[in-house]
Amino acid sequence: MTKIGLEIHCQLTKLESKLFCSCKADYRNLPPNSNICPVCVGLPGSLPALNKKAVEKASMISIALGCKIPEKISFFRKNYFYPDLPKNFQITQYNAYGSASIGSDGTVQIEEKEIRIRRIQLEEDPGRLVYEGSSQKTQITLVDYNRAGTPLVEIVTEPDFENPRQVRIFLNVLADLVENLGVSDPYLEGAMRVDGNISVEKGNRVEIKNVGSFRDVEKALHFEITRQQSLVNRGIEVAAETRHWDDARKITVSSRSKEEEHDYRYLPEADIPIIRIAQDRIENLKKQMPESIAAKKERYIKKYGIPQQVADVLSSDKFYSDLFEKSHTEYNAKEIANIITTDLMGFADTREKKAELKLTNQNISDLADAIVSGAMTRNSGKIALQEMVKTGKPLSDIMSSLDLGNMNDASSLEKIIDEVFAEEEKAVSEAGQNPDTINYIVGKVMRKTKGKADPGMTLEIIRKRLSF
């Protein structure tokens, strides 16, 4: 039997300052070691001041994951010695001495399985190691402390996962959740990092440390299951250790023996007082929180008649669900959902492509109206959408310049069908024995009209001509 538990480190990226000082929380793209102060690098005599907004955003994550939030929280010093930790200790939370972390005892449902959340704690991120050099012999290690002190939420699960696939599903759900809350941008480099704790039957627990992508987490867990099962089958003890994922070789590599809790010598952080969280403050936070993904999906299905699969995709992507909310009416909601999930997501499936979109809310609303009213076919709509994405031009200009209006005049359409019948005599003669040939003829008409022919009307005229 395989048991997997996770420790997910999620940066709170929607804040102005770090967790205990006024340095910028957004450290990316800054010159190395330019975003630091005496507090975040732990110089003697410096005093931390807790970021209130970080506590609120961490509380929102706890609420969304169904966790209990205690009446008071406090912070501890977790002592360990690595070059990216300038103070030689990390300010974090620890459930001891009558204190509690920002949340505990939550649950997340994935498919038919319930994943228990053991605790959620607020802590500071360490600095970042940068490796320079083309080979192991010439490689040197540099330290950039710009990230040190960035607000971080650690989400610790129980060992409820049975296979790597469940882990991947859970991480995707969690990423969608924090993005929907507006507390984190999980797709930024380093914004969500995962430690996996894994054991097989008759083996010790092994930790895979700091894996940066969900795909690599899944690969690392698959490799580690195979490695541990192979050792057990040969009667070799599985060492309790910390390993890291070597992406180049697609294997896990031993880093060090596994630390135990007592190795960290937790001590109460005397420079930060106990924080009391009033119940009315929690209630206010609940009111400020955006509609959950599950509630949004249910509303899309019940109010607008959007198919469940489409609603599932649309509600889980904040960028596109925001676009839907700003552009739809009750008249065109279903069509807009279809355009976004069927076509637009194919054009812009990465952060960079989304940022380059010239498409406006009015563009997509007008496009949906034109398709619903019959002024434009869906095929022509795809062509128009491609142009909107690139230019942001109004639909009327695009329809005029590309001649995309719907051909719904019966007499004009009949002339085109006559031409196709003359060109495709063999297909027409076979249509009586093979009705699928009709689809071929319809396709020929659509190509001849550059997608402007109404498919329903085209099919109806062809069937009448063939006496079907």
Taking alpha carbons only, the member of 293, 281, 290 closest to residue 59 is 281
Per the DSSP assignment, residues forming a β-bridge with 209 are 244
Cβ count near 257 (within 10 Å) = 11
**Comparing 415 with 108, which gets the higher pLDDT?**
108
Q: Which stretch of 5-9, 319-323, 461-465 has the lowest confidence by average pLDDT?
A: 461-465
**pLDDT tens sequence across 201-212:** 988 999 999 898
387 contacts 398 by C-beta, under 8 angstroms: yes
Task: Give 141's DSSP letter.
Answer: E
**pLDDT value of residue 465:** 77
CA angle in degrees (0–180, nearest 5) for 111-116-120: 125
pLDDT higher than threshold 90 for residue 380: no
**Span 98-110, average pLDDT:** 90
**From CA 395, how far away is CA 359, in angstroms rounded?**
11
Which amino acid is it at 166?
Q
Per the DSSP assignment, residues forming a β-bridge with 128 are 144
**pTM to 2 decimal places:** 0.83
**Span 122-136, average pLDDT:** 88
pLDDT higher than threshold 90 for residue 428: no
**pLDDT tens sequence across 266-279:** 999 999 999 999 99
pLDDT higher than threshold 80 for residue 435: no
Element holding 285 (H helix, E strand)? helix 279-288
**Comparing 253 with 416, which gets the higher pLDDT?**
253
**From CA 149, how far away is CA 127, in angstroms rounded?**
8
pLDDT higher than threshold 90 for residue 199: yes
335 contacts 371 by C-beta, under 8 angstroms: yes
**Span 33-54, average pLDDT:** 95
Count CA within 13 A, CB hemisphere, residue 240: 6
Task: Give 79's DSSP letter.
Answer: E
Residue 346 DSSP SS3:
helix
pLDDT higher than threshold 80 for residue 8: yes
**From CA 231, how far away is CA 233, in angstroms rounded?**
5
**From CA 340, how far away is CA 332, in angstroms rounded?**
12
pLDDT higher than threshold 90 for residue 441: no
**pLDDT value of residue 407:** 60
**pLDDT value of residue 442:** 75
Q: Tell me the pLDDT band of 191, cut-offs 50, 70 and 90.
A: very high
- With tokens 């205990």, the residue in question is 20
Residues of the chain with CATH 1.10.10.410: 410-465
Q: Mean pLDDT, the chain, as a whole number?
A: 89
pLDDT higher than threshold 70 for residue 411: no
pLDDT higher than threshold 90 for residue 98: no
**pLDDT value of residue 422:** 78
Neighbouring residues of 236: CB distance < 8 A, sequence distance ≥ 6: none
Neighbouring residues of 110: CB distance < 8 A, sequence distance ≥ 6: 166, 169, 170, 173
Q: Tell me the pLDDT band of 125, cut-offs 50, 70 and 90.
A: very high
**From CA 377, how far away is CA 335, in angstroms rounded?**
12
Taking alpha carbons only, the member of 194, 190, 140 closest to residue 29 is 190
Q: Tell me the pLDDT band of 132, cut-offs 50, 70 and 90.
A: confident
**What does R_g of the chain's alpha carbons equal in angstroms?**
29
Q: What percent of the chain has pLDDT over 70?
A: 96
**Comparing 260 with 63, which gets the higher pLDDT?**
63
**Span 334-354, average pLDDT:** 90
**pLDDT tens sequence across 156-174:** 999 999 999 999 999 999 9
Reading phi first (left if > 0) and then psi (alpha if -120 to 50, else beta), residue 374 is in left
Q: Which stretch of 64-68, 247-251, 416-420 has the lowest confidence by average pLDDT?
A: 416-420
**Comparing 71 with 399, which gets the higher pLDDT?**
71
pLDDT higher than threshold 60 for residue 468: no
9 contacts 193 by C-beta, under 8 angstroms: yes
**From CA 343, how far away is CA 345, in angstroms rounded?**
6
Q: Where are the beta strands (DSSP E) in 337-422?
A: none
Residue 235 DSSP SS3:
coil
| Domain 410-465 is found in CATH 1.10.10.410 | yes
192 contacts 203 by C-beta, under 8 angstroms: no
pLDDT higher than threshold 80 for residue 122: yes
Residue 300 DSSP SS3:
helix
pLDDT higher than threshold 70 for residue 412: no
Residue 161 DSSP SS3:
strand
pLDDT higher than threshold 60 for residue 192: yes
**pLDDT value of residue 207:** 95
pLDDT higher than threshold 70 for residue 408: no
Task: Give 289's DSSP letter.
Answer: S
**pLDDT value of residue 237:** 94
24 contacts 146 by C-beta, under 8 angstroms: no
Angle in degrees, 0-180, between the axes of helices 318-327 and 164-181, rounded to the nearest 10 = 40
**pLDDT value of residue 59:** 97
**pLDDT value of residue 90:** 95
Angle in degrees, 0-180, between the axes of helices 361-373 and 318-327, rounded to the nearest 10 = 70
Q: Where are the beta strands (DSSP E) in 99-173?
A: 103-110, 113-124, 128-132, 140-144, 151-157
Reading phi first (left if > 0) and then psi (alpha if -120 to 50, else beta), residue 190 is in left
**From CA 345, how far away is CA 359, in angstroms rounded?**
13
pLDDT higher than threshold 70 for residue 424: yes
Q: Tell me the pLDDT band of 2, cut-offs 50, 70 and 90.
A: very high
**Span 429-454, average pLDDT:** 74
**From CA 98, how far away is CA 95, in angstroms rounded?**
7
**Comparing 397 with 60, which gets the higher pLDDT?**
60
